[in-house]
Amino acid sequence: MISKQMQDKLNDQINLELYSSYIYASMAAYFDSINLDGFSSWMKAQAGEELKHAMKVFGYVCERAGRVELKAIAAPKIDWASPLAAFEDAYKHECHVSSSYHKLVDVCQSEKDFATLNFIQWFIAEQVEEEDSVLKIVEQLKIVKDAPGGLFMIDRGLAQRQG
């Protein structure tokens, strides 16, 4: 059985993952509004992945005889100054999510909850991948700056992501 403190922290993580899905869905809508379909497709796939993460934590809480308590999800931002600004926000958000998982590790260690620590290790590794993939796009967008041809090449490449 899971402790009350760990249950609460995992419920917070579920909320953060659901919020992550909202952010990426909002970014997809922004990219749709400026006719960058590849960017939008990438963000939609990311929104789906974040929802899967939330449900993975949800399932774990239930498996440990805990109680999932869903909370209100904050409304995400809806506009960005540029594709680069949107991806910079995505990168900052992924770093925030990573930090949240690191704090969960601290709680696991203090409670000697090795089962949850083992469970969370997958997310720690996943966050390394998440940060890396978003940062690479940020760096590409910095290289192309305002060159429309470069932006459209990145758009075409992002459209290739499988959901």
What pTM did the predictor assign? 0.95
Average pLDDT (22-29) is 98
Across residues 114-133, what is the average pLDDT?
A: 97
Residue 29 in any domain: the answer is: yes
25 domain residue, yes or no: yes
Residue 90 within a domain: yes
The number of folded domains in the chain is 1
CA–CA separation, 118 vs 115, rounded Å? 5
Range of the domain at 149: 4-158
Q: Is the pLDDT of residue 163 over 70?
A: no
Assess if residue 163 is contained within a domain.
Answer: no
Query: Residue positions in the annotated binding site for Fe cation?
Result: 17, 50, 53, 94, 127
CATH code of the domain covering residue 50: 1.20.1260.10
What's the CA dihedral at 117, 121, 123, 129 to 10 degrees?
A: 160
Q: Which tokens hold the place of 34?
A: 């400026």
- Kindly state whether residue 9 falls inside one of the protein's structural domains: yes
| Chain mean pLDDT for the chain | 97
Residue 109, burial from CB neighbour count under 10 angstroms (0-12, 13-18, 19+): exposed
Tell whether 71 is covered by a domain.
yes
Cα gap 128→65, rounded to integer Å:
29
Q: How far apart are CA 14 and CA 53, in angstroms?
A: 8
Residues contributing to the annotated binding site: 17, 50, 53, 94, 127
Q: For residue range 95-123, what is the model confidence (pLDDT) as tens digits? A: 999 999 999 999 999 999 999 999 999 99
